[in-house]
Amino acid sequence: MSNETSTTETITYPKATLQTPPALVKKIGKTTYRVRVHFSTTSTETMEDKIKRLLREEVRQAMENE
C-alpha cells in the first residue's frame, strides 16, 4: 500500500474577448491561480525563432556545465 494522497486539479479556460487577454485558471486546494497571457504587438521575433533561440541557449548552457 502507498501513503500517497491524490489531489484533483482543475484547469479552466474562460473565453477571451478583444478587451481581455486569455487566462488560465487553476484551482489547487483552496487557492485559485489565474494567469493572463498576452503577446507583444511590437515583437520582431517569430515563435519559431524564439523556440530555436531558447533551445540553442539551453544546449550552450548544458555544454558549459559538462
The tens place of each residue's pLDDT in the chain, 66 residues long, gives: 455 555 566 666 666 566 677 788 999 999 999 998 877 889 899 889 999 999 999 999 999 998
In a domain, 47, yes or no: yes
Could you give the CA distance from residue 11 to residue 26 in angstroms, rounded to a whole number?
A: 5
H/E run at residue 51: helix 47-64
Q: Is residue 3 part of a domain?
A: no
Note whether residue 4 is domain-resident. Answer: no
Domain that holds residue 50: 10-64
* Per-residue model confidence (pLDDT) at position 36: 85
Confidence at residue 13, expressed as pLDDT on a 0 to 100 scale = 62
As for how many domains the chain has, the answer is 1
* Contact by Cβ (8 Å): 16, 23: yes
In a domain, 53, yes or no: yes
